[in-house]
Amino acid sequence: MSSIPSTAAAGARSQAAEIAAGVTSSATIARVKRVMIWGLALLWLLDAALQAQPRMFTIDFVSNIMKPSIAISPSFIGAIAKWSLTFVTPHIALFNWLFMITQFVIAFTLIGGLVRHDRRLVTAGLVLSILWGSVLWIAGEGTSGVFTGNGTMFTWAPGSVFLYMAVAVFYLLPDKWWQFGDSFCLPRDFLALVFLYGGIAQAVTPGFWGSQGISVLIEGQASMAPSWMINSMTPVATWTHQYPVLSNAILVVALLALAGLLYGKHPKTSGFVLMVPVLAVIWYWGQAFGGIFSGMGTDPNTIPPLLILAIPAYVIWRARRAQGEPPAALPGAGGQDDSLPVGPTAAP
């Protein structure tokens, strides 16, 4: 058991040496990608299992999932979404089987590729993730309100499947996009950009500054939440109704602070500390865990994929901390880290 912490520490010191040299090795990139894709595969597996819930095969799926999504779709997508609604509604049970099987296929393709270390199988699963995710994000989530001015992180924007697609795309990017020591690294900085979007959207959406903003959203989640959640949601809904400006200002400042603290090649410890309660508040009171306890939740919403997308920033944060250790603790230029593969390595 004692070898586990020492191995993790050795990995962090090796990554710190890479950062000091200004280069992130293929081995480190492959390791990070592999962990992220395992997370993505398990999320698709959970989504497929949720799609198998009995109510998903009934008209409730259309009424409670598809129609609300159309309501927040931009006009240029609304026509497509309405057509899909007309097409799917008469055969909802059949289409739900299709939805469920597709997501199981994606999950098991990714898992099979990871277990067998088959890059082609993983790539096939990621391409399916991107294609199916595009369909769900447009027709199923209505682009999560991103293009209609009412999509915030508290209302599930930018959408869970959009974040799934981001994870898939990042895996497919070449190593030059994964240099954690660069001033800008998209896989590393994407999380901060999502928080920046969330803070701006929360600030510029007028409804959230009024008494019928955040409180109404929480009340809506409480109406679908299990009994053990309602008692803790009602007081918060009441407080945000009484103090709408203060509650929204706190959320805006917290999201913008996270964007600043986690952006760049020097993510701050305080950013990770602040991220935990902020995401917990959004996931519990704003998203009710994606409604997975209501019998109508199709996914756990945006917080789990955001945690997956936090991995690159966490890796460089951990490496920076290790870099602060005495130089003797860091491996030399020719040193080898037993926790990582040796030589040119490609994920998985």
Residues 6+ apart with CB under 8 A from 323: 16, 17, 19, 20, 330
pLDDT surpasses 50 at 326: no
- Surface-to-core class of residue 1, CB atoms within 10 Å of its CB (0-12 exposed, 13-18 middle, 19+ buried): exposed
Domain count, the chain: 1
> Is 42 part of a structural domain of the chain?
yes
Q: What is the mean pLDDT of residues 151-179?
A: 94
% of the chain at pLDDT higher than 90: 63
Question: What is the predicted pLDDT for the residue at 14?
Answer: 62
Considering the chain, what is the average pLDDT of its residues? 86
The pLDDT assigned to 63 comes to 84
pLDDT of residue 339: 35
**Runs of H (alpha helix) within 26-159:** 26-51, 59-61, 67-71, 75-88, 92-116, 119-135
Q: Is residue 347 part of a domain?
A: no
pLDDT at 79 over 90: no
In the prediction, which pLDDT does 154 show?
A: 87
CB distance 116 to 34 below 8 Å: no
| Confidence grade of residue 220 (pLDDT, cut at 50, 70, 90) | confident
Region 205-209: mean pLDDT is 91
Number of residues in the chain: 348
Largest CA distance in the chain: 69
For residue 341, the model assigns a pLDDT of 34
Residue 64's pLDDT is what? 82
Cα 146 to Cα 140: distance, rounded to the nearest angstrom? 14
Those residues with Cβ within 8 angstroms of residue 279's Cβ, 6 or more apart along the chain or in another chain: 303, 306, 307
Segment 278-304, tens digit of pLDDT = 999 999 999 999 989 988 899 999 999
Q: Is residue 23 part of a domain?
A: yes
Q: How far apart are CA 307 and CA 64, in angstroms?
A: 27
| The pair of three-digit structure tokens given for residue 124, joined into one six-digit string | 């096939």
Residue 339 lies in a domain: no
Task: Determine, yes or no, domain membership for 80.
Answer: yes
Which range of 164-173, 203-212, 229-238 scores highest in mean pLDDT? It is 164-173
Whether pTM exceeds 0.85 = yes
Question: Between residues 213 and 337, which one has the greater pLDDT?
Answer: 213
pLDDT exceeds 50 at position 331: no
**Domain span at residue 149?**
8-327
In a domain, residue 346? The reply is: no
Tokens 């959009």 found at: 162
Q: What is the pLDDT of residue 343?
A: 35
Residue 332 lies in a domain: no
Three-state DSSP state, 72: coil
Q: Per-residue pLDDT for 3 more than 80?
A: no
Look at residue 340 in the predicted model and tell me its pLDDT.
34
The 3-state DSSP class for residue 91 equals helix
Task: Name the residue type at position 84.
Answer: S
Which pLDDT band, with edges at 50, 70 and 90, does 23 fall under?
A: low
Give the mean model confidence (pLDDT) for residues 174-195: 96
- 3-state SS assignment for residue 211: coil
Over 80: is that where the pLDDT of 8 sits?
A: no
- pLDDT exceeds cutoff 90 at 333: no
Binned at pLDDT 50, 70 and 90, residue 40 comes out as: very high
**Which range has the worst mean pLDDT, 68-77, 152-161, 293-302, 309-318?**
68-77
Check: CB of residue 22 under 8 Å from CB of residue 181: yes
Residue 325 pLDDT class (50, 70, 90 cuts): very low
298: in domain: yes
> Which residues make Cβ contacts (< 8 Å) with residue 75, sequence separation at least 6?
none
